[in-house]
């Protein structure tokens, strides 16, 4: 069990970019950058006995800040905040005060704004084998969100091949918060389309979205639709091959309970990724808009070449009173735990 800090020699806004390496006794290896709290590598042993990296990314840090990548930016492997997914019209109201956020294409605020938590350099607070705690202090008014928000994220790698993500946050003013992690997974040793992955998700309802993917507030039963993953199926079984999935699902569980969110497996590697979370919603995304020319080893990443299991609160929930609250107030603590567990299927 080991944690290592690696200097990259790179600085952004005067802050040093570090790589953090976590290794367990089985040889599972995770590399994280303190820029964006990015999971850069997640290397496991597949059923063939081969070491296999199951997340998309770049060979080195420079790839994440290249002009080519940022021009068509898919948030590879980063933390999303202060608010995941879309806030309709980039606007919300807390205690009678209207807050207008920065807006993306279509007029909504996407993934926290122009420069969200994914593009910030986080402080490295502590390293205890095999874990690391990162912290980012988001100042009042950043991307027009109210309040100084302090967010800590502890990554811990266990000998059960679990990568645990523990979030804690506090604020000095009432603010909107909805955090997720945006890792792109592919369990195929050949990076085949994730349509060939088998996916199961205990979610009996999905959230209606408008034409810009913003959640409207309506819950729709998955029964009889392409969104029914209750019994498990190949991801491509019912999908529109030109669209894939970019959809939020409400998990079947009491609010706040820590349970299974999804199971995804791939035949060639024999790997299964199980995701557990305290969050009420999973957003399943099959990377329709991903086009990266120079990924790891020079590989080109194409649409539907990865899947994301984004655990979070209800998108746009800050504007929908019937959804669980995403307001954090002074004296309260935001908490979230999500686990990525790797096994042989």
User: Which residues are part of the catalytic machinery?
Assistant: 182, 310
Distance between CA atoms of residues 268 and 54, nearest Å:
13
Three state DSSP letters for 119-165 = HCECEEEEEECCEEEEEEEECCCHHHCCCCEEEEEEEEECCCCEEEE
Distance from chain centroid for Cα 63: 19
Residue with tokens 């009996």: 204
Residue with tokens 């939020």: 248
Cβ(4)–Cβ(20) under 8 Å? yes
Distance between CA atoms of residues 203 and 194, nearest Å:
20
Distance between CA atoms of residues 183 and 77, nearest Å:
4
For residues 106, 107, 109, 111, the Cα torsion angle rounded to the nearest 10 degrees is 10
Tokens representing 201?
């998700």
Decide: helix, strand or coil at residue 253. coil
Number of residues assigned to the chain: 345
Candidates 277, 271, 249; CA nearest to 196 is: 271
């Amino acid at each position: 069990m080991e944690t290592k800090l690696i200097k990259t020699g790179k600085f952004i806004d005067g802050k040093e970019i570090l790589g953090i390496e976590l290794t367990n006794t089985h040889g599972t290896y995770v590399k994280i950058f303190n820029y964006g709290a990015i999971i850069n590598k997640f290397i496991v042993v597949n059923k063939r006995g081969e070491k296999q990296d199951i997340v998309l990314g770049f060979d080195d840090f420079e790839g994440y800040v290249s002009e080519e990548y940022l021009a068509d930016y898919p948030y590879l492997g980063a933390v999303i905040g202060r608010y995941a997914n879309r806030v309709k019209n980039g606007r919300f109201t807390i205690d009678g005060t209207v807050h207008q956020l920065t807006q993306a294409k279509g007029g909504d605020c996407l993934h926290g704004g122009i420069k969200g938590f994914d593009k910030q350099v986080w402080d490295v607070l502590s390293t205890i084998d095999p874990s690391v705690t990162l912290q980012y202090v988001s100042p009042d008014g950043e991307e027009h969100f109210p309040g100084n928000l302090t967010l800590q994220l502890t990554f811990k790698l266990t000998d059960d091949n679990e990568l645990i993500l523990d979030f804690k946050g506090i604020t000095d003013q009432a603010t909107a918060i909805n955090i997720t992690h945006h890792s792109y997974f592919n369990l195929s040793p050949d990076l085949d389309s994730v349509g060939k992955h088998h996916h199961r998700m205990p979610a009996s309802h999905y959230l209606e979205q408008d034409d810009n993917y913003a959640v409207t507030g309506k819950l729709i039963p998955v029964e009889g639709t392409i969104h029914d993953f209750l019994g498990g199926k190949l991801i491509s079984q019912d999908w529109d091959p030109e669209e894939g999935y970019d959809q939020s699902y409400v998990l079947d569980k009491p609010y706040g309970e820590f349970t299974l969110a999804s199971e995804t497996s791939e035949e060639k590697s024999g790997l299964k990724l199980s995701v557990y979370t305290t969050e009420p919603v999973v957003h399943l995304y099959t990377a329709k808009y991903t086009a990266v020319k120079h990924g790891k080893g020079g590989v080109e990443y194409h649409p539907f070449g990865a899947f994301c299991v984004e655990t979070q609160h209800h998108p746009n929930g800050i504007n929908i009173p019937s959804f669980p609250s995403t307001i954090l107030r002074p004296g309260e603590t935001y908490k979230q735990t999500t686990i990525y567990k790797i096994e042989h299927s």
